[in-house]
Amino acid sequence: MKSKIIKLVFILLVFTSGFTTTAQKSVSLEEAIVLASQGNRSLKIQKLEELRAQQAVKEAKSAWLPNISINGNLSRYFDRQIIFLPGSFAKTNKDVQEVRVGGLYQYNTVAAFNQKLFSRNANQNIKATLVEAKIEQEITADLESRLIEDLTRTYYQVLLAQNQLILLKKSLQRNEKALTDAKALFLQGNGLKMDTLRSYIAVENLKISVSHQVNSIEISKDQLKQLIGLDLKDDLELVDSLHLEENCDELKVFDDEVTIENLNRHDLSIQKLIVELEEKRLSAIRANKYPEISLIGQYQLQSQSDEAKFNSQTWHPTSFMGINVSIPIFSGGKTSSQVKQGLIKLEQEKIKMEDLNALVRLEIATIMNNWNNAKLQYEAQKSTVEAAEVNFAINTQRYSNGIGSKLEVTDAELALTTAQITYLHSIYNLKISRMELQRALGRLNSENL
């Protein structure tokens, strides 16, 4: 009996070990954006880079804080140190007389103080690091905007694929019913074998399309999980809809006049800051030609003896305060070469700024045209679906009454499915075009999706 229980427990353990627990999450697009802002790994890395830039600012500002250090050393000499004196001082006949002096044990402790009083280079370096910190902030904001763009696009791709799957399954059901009817009519002698074969081929093709669509949904969901920062094993359910309502935001016209000056694009802000950064760096290089003034001080304790007893040493203090002035005179042309390099780099960044402005204008014009075209396609496809539904109903009724052919019904069903899928694509293109336009205008955030 005991062995049977052990075997039963072992079988249950083996059976249950194949199951893994997965967390299911139901998220809207807005919730997905919030989750991504906390879990996206690329965004986490950039936020850490922003923190690093803030520490670099503190490092640059430390140049104006006092520098205090304490050094100490103990030296053991095996021979006394030699100094050279004039012979007359040493009361010898030599012109130069060597004299051994000092103790075999020497102790020395120094406390040094240095405080900058004037340094243009330090000031310019602080200004440069402040600009670098602003650049990192803008890069973070730009990455967040692009993350919202990628997340929105992928989210709607999943919704599009799911809606296409629904339409394909409905089409499969209609074609399976048509295949059943065709087989029945063929067996009764009232149908053609060609109609049965045509229905069979349509059903098999739709089964393949459904299988492909299911796989496509899983791939898109995995991409969405990666952007959000979720585990790929988690089950993700999307709660938003791809459909549009009348007078929705996607159909509203942008009435604001678009100019480069009123755009809130982070890439433009980054490039402006890069130009400013090169100007600060150039000023810092030029500041190397100016003198630096520092307040310095030192307090020294030293002792020498032939014994290693620390407590019996006699300490002799020496201290001073002073002003140190460093004036650069000639550096072999190094500073001049650095200035010329800085001027070239600054000119490059200004040209990049002009090129970016031109690219932004072209991008906005292109996306605006795409958005207007997407609106026209949406209105046209909405009418096309209505016409395809009526056409399918008419041909089905004609075939039921014996005055239409099976081929007409098949063609009408295919036209209806194609029109419905194309209509879904028009909604997707409209949403994506508006989102791209918002991003191009610098207005993309979680509140206006």
Is 314 in the same domain as 402?
Answer: no
> Do the strands 96-101 and 292-305 form a parallel or antiparallel pair, or are they unpaired?
unpaired
Q: What share of the chain in percent tops pLDDT 70?
A: 89
Mean pLDDT for 358-381 is 89
pTM, rounded to two decimals: 0.79
Q: How confident is the model at residue 16 (pLDDT cuts 50, 70, 90)?
A: very low
Mean pLDDT for 385-410 is 83
The answer to the question of residue 447 being in a domain is no
Cβ density class 339-372: b for 16+ within 10 Å, e for less? eeebeeebeebeeeeeebeeebeeebeebbebbe
Q: Given this model, what pLDDT does residue 357 score?
A: 92
Is 153 in the same domain as 299?
Answer: no
- Those residues whose C-beta lies under 8 Å from the C-beta of residue 57, and which sit 6 or more positions away, are 126, 129, 130, 132, 133
Is 432 in the same domain as 409?
Answer: yes
Residue 71 has pLDDT above 80, yes or no: yes
Torsion of CA 50, 55, 60, 65, to 10 degrees: 150
Domains of the chain: total: 2
Q: Given this model, what pLDDT does residue 126 score?
A: 94
Mean pLDDT for 374-394 is 89
What amino acid occupies position 395? N
Please say whether the beta carbons of 236 and 224 come within 8 A. yes
The answer to the question of residue 167 being in a domain is yes
Q: Given this model, what pLDDT does residue 19 score?
A: 41
The answer to the question of residue 7 being in a domain is no
The answer to the question of residue 11 being in a domain is no
Q: Given this model, what pLDDT does residue 182 score?
A: 73
Residue at token pair 């103080």: 113
Q: CA 335 to CA 342: how far, in whole Å? A: 10
The answer to the question of residue 13 being in a domain is no
Q: CA 420 to CA 381: how far, in whole Å? A: 8
Strand (E) or helix (H) holding 300: strand 292-305
Please say whether the beta carbons of 367 and 436 come within 8 A. yes
Average pLDDT, the chain: 85
Residue 337 has pLDDT above 90, yes or no: yes
Q: Return the SS3 of 370.
A: helix
Is 150 in the same domain as 281?
Answer: yes
- Those residues whose C-beta lies under 8 Å from the C-beta of residue 75, and which sit 6 or more positions away, are 105, 106, 108
Residue 218 has pLDDT above 50, yes or no: yes
Which of 311, 327, 343 is at the close of a domain?
327
Residue 351 has pLDDT above 60, yes or no: yes
Q: Given this model, what pLDDT does residue 23 score?
A: 59
Mean pLDDT for 32-58 is 92
Is 433 in the same domain as 373?
Answer: yes
Residue 446 has pLDDT above 70, yes or no: no
Is 353 in the same domain as 241?
Answer: yes
Is 109 in the same domain as 175?
Answer: no
Which stretches does DSSP call E strand in 28-161?
67-76, 81-86, 96-101, 105-118
Encoded tokens for 434: 């508006």
> Quick one: DSSP state of residue 95?
S
Domain span including residue 106: 67-118+291-327
Is 87 in the same domain as 170?
Answer: no
Rg, C-alpha atoms of the chain: 40
Is 48 in the same domain as 135?
Answer: yes
What values do phi and psi take at 320, rounded to 5?
-160, 160
Q: CA 354 to CA 267: how far, in whole Å? A: 13
What values do phi and psi take at 403, rounded to 5?
-110, 5
Q: CA 156 to CA 150: how far, in whole Å? A: 10
